[in-house]
Structure 1
Amino acid sequence: MTCQIVQIEEKEVRLTNLEKEMWPDGYTKADLIKYYVDMSPYILPYIKNRLFIMSRYPDGITGKMFYQKDAPEYTPEWVQTYPLVSERENKVVNYIVCDDLPTLVWLANQACIELHIWMAQKERLDYPDIVVFDLDPFPPATFKDTLDVAMLVKEALDRFGLQGYPKTSGSTGLHIFLPVRPEFTYAQVREGVRFLFEHIHAVYPEKTTLERSIDKRAGKVYLDYGQNTRGHTMTFHYSLRPHPGAPVSTPLTWDEVRAGDIEPEDFNIKTIFPRIKKVGDLYRPILHQEQSFAGLLTLVT
């Protein structure tokens, strides 16, 4: 077992099992850590002040994984945590808040492949500042079908003067992030997304579904508004995913969505850095763009 201690921003971070294979493609934990170090300028600004849920793959993506909300007892004292009472578990959960590079590296060393993040900042946990439109295709529906549905979401948002930002989920689907002012609760936001999705389903029923039963979604793109729920997390942009090829949840341009000639596997640990060099950080505007959901919610009964 390899083990080394590195100094990052005046903090000691212990790295272990660097040779551990995390993806069957041959990518190791060392590759995982290096990815997040190199990608940190494009990740940290978005996830700071947000609660982080660890999704750990100690034996790589072919082994068992587990989710961990509570910071483990051995968490370094310099890792920021946020205590939150969990009514379901009847205890205080100390969530990790990843605000700096040492914490991000420490999390990667815990075999946290993915970035599962709350949609609200910790100062206003009940009021999300990101609304998500989650589109999931169920075979034989294709990613191209998902891109077509995404354009309908864009058209609907355009009518309300709202600007959404599409990205691959890193799996088979597509997410559209909508930055908003944190002025409405999760329940209110969820109803707004449901309202738009119901109208989209009404105009394109042959390829979309709101069906909650998984076995009734075949051949359709599932319009999932339920992710806009307090305590739920989303895979944030530039997160690696636990699938062969080490795919990355990647921001897209609307021109790319409209053209429809891309596939999720086009964006991975090898291709993401040349892409950013070419197109830049497409999500950068959401850091400062506050939009109001009020206009849409006035139509929700």
Structure 2
Amino acid sequence: MSTDDLAIDVDGTEVVISHPGKVFFPERGETKLDLIRFYQSIAEPLLKALQGRPLLLERYPNGAGGKSWFQKRVPKSVPSWLRTTVVATPNGTTSDALVAADLAHILWAVNLGCLGFHVWPYHAATPEFTDELRIDLDPSPGVGFAQVREAAALTKELLDELGIEAHLKTSGSRGLHIYVRLRPEWDGYQVRAGAVALARALERRHPALITAQWWKEERGARVFVDFNQNAPHKTVFGAWCVRPRAGAQVSTPIGWDALAVVRPDELTIATVPAVVAEHGDPWASAGERPQSLEPLLELSRQDLAAGLMDAPWPPVYPKQPGEPPRVAPSRARKP
């Protein structure tokens, strides 16, 4: 340790923080140590959401706005207590990824300049089961947050009709994320099929507001339900995690009653601890009531029986059975 380093005891594990005074978020001058203190202050809800899951690290060693890269593999030289797990890419390449085993693992990554944790939808101990459906409501150009709010409310309305309990969070940027905690019974291909069916059902109900169209040229000024965030091996930005933005915005779980009033840009490392202290963790009991994917799989079966093909997959994935031609409509060869 140098004289500038800070050793933090995390439940008996020492995590050394180098250059704790380095500014990570220029809007208010918040430092690496401020980010450490934030994660310490919300450790309980953070670990309820992330614990045991593999993490993809988004590193900004010089703070938000600086040089960055995504890091799936942990460095070769790591503390002996660090837990990792083998994850795979769509083409089968494997790597050792960090596991959110406890708060020490989170703080260790922050020390490396991690300003974004992207989380796998399964636990490292049971990778065969995808236990989270993640519904990413992504605003297309020309879409405001009011439309994203409306799309979220309509998504909840449909899920309620299907008997599926869902939970809401801000993305930390322009969108909203809706999560469904699932029973450990389905794999990533089945969960994605359910997400495709949900997106298509929402588009049929609300075609002027919501789209399930994968190709950007077909979306228009609508909210896109990004079903491919549920493709196997995909990660989504973690709950309670801080975005690499100058204002240190947090991807914050909120109650459905807060949807009408939430201002995502105001949820930052400076404000979220007080919100949690006052209102608690809106996802606190989510894991106690895992849901069934079967209602969405039934919608998927109905779509396929009606003649619909699978939706397009991202380009990094091998061609899938039942997938339509992977080319934008404007570039497709005309008969």
Give the TM bin, normalised by the shorter chain: over 0.9
Name the counterpart of 2:222.
220
After TM superposition, the structure 1 = structure 2 runs for residues 133-282 of structure 1, keeping only pairs within 5 Å, are: 133-214=135-216, 216-257=218-259, 260-282=260-282
Q: Note if contact 2:88-2:233 (Cα within 8 Å) is conserved in structure 1.
A: no
Which residue, 29, 34, 40 being the options, matches 1:31? 34
Q: CA deviation at 1:122?
A: 1.7
Q: Note if contact 1:143-1:263 (Cα within 8 Å) is conserved in structure 2.
A: no
Q: Note if contact 1:141-1:207 (Cα within 8 Å) is conserved in structure 2.
A: no
| 1:101 equivalent in alignment to 2:73 | no
- 1:125-172 superposed Cα distances (whole Å, 9 cap, x missing partner): 132111111101123211110010111111111111111001100110
| % identical aligned pairs | 31
Task: Specify the SS of the correspondent of 2:114.
Answer: coil
Which residue, 74, 77, 82 being the options, matches 1:79? 82
Q: In the aligned structure 1, how far is the partner of 2:184 from the partner of 2:240? A: 23
Letter in 2 for 1:269: I
Q: In the aligned structure 1, how far is the partner of 2:251 from the partner of 2:89? A: 29
Change beyond 3 A, Cα 1:6–1:277: closer
Unmatched 5+ residue regions in structure 2? 302-335
Q: CA deviation at 1:9?
A: 2.5
Task: Specify the SS of the correspondent of 2:148.
Answer: helix
Letter in 1 for 2:82: V
Q: Note if contact 1:36-1:108 (Cα within 8 Å) is conserved in structure 2.
A: no
Name the counterpart of 2:296.
296
- Range with bigger deviation, 94-103 or 160-169: 94-103
Q: In the aligned structure 2, how far is the partner of 1:85 from the partner of 1:250? A: 28
Q: Note if contact 1:168-1:175 (Cα within 8 Å) is conserved in structure 2.
A: yes
Q: Note if contact 1:135-1:173 (Cα within 8 Å) is conserved in structure 2.
A: yes
Q: CA deviation at 1:62?
A: 1.1
Q: Note if contact 1:167-1:237 (Cα within 8 Å) is conserved in structure 2.
A: yes
Unmatched 5+ residue regions in structure 1? none
Letter in 2 for 1:98: A
Q: CA deviation at 1:50?
A: 0.9
Name the counterpart of 2:54.
51
Structure 2 length normalisation: TM-score? 0.84
The number of equivalent residue pairs is 298
Q: CA deviation at 1:216?
A: 4.8
Greater Rg by CA: 2
Q: In the aligned structure 1, how far is the partner of 2:261 from the partner of 2:49? A: 28
Task: Specify the SS of the correspondent of 2:185.
Answer: coil
Q: In the aligned structure 2, how far is the partner of 1:37 from the partner of 1:123? A: 25
Name the counterpart of 1:125.
127
Letter in 2 for 1:112: C
Q: CA deviation at 1:6?
A: 3.1
Q: Note if contact 1:21-1:28 (Cα within 8 Å) is conserved in structure 2.
A: yes
Q: Note if contact 2:115-2:242 (Cα within 8 Å) is conserved in structure 1.
A: yes
Structure 1 length normalisation: TM-score? 0.93
Q: In the aligned structure 2, how far is the partner of 1:113 from the partner of 1:99? A: 18
Q: Note if contact 1:8-1:102 (Cα within 8 Å) is conserved in structure 2.
A: yes
Letter in 1 for 2:282: L
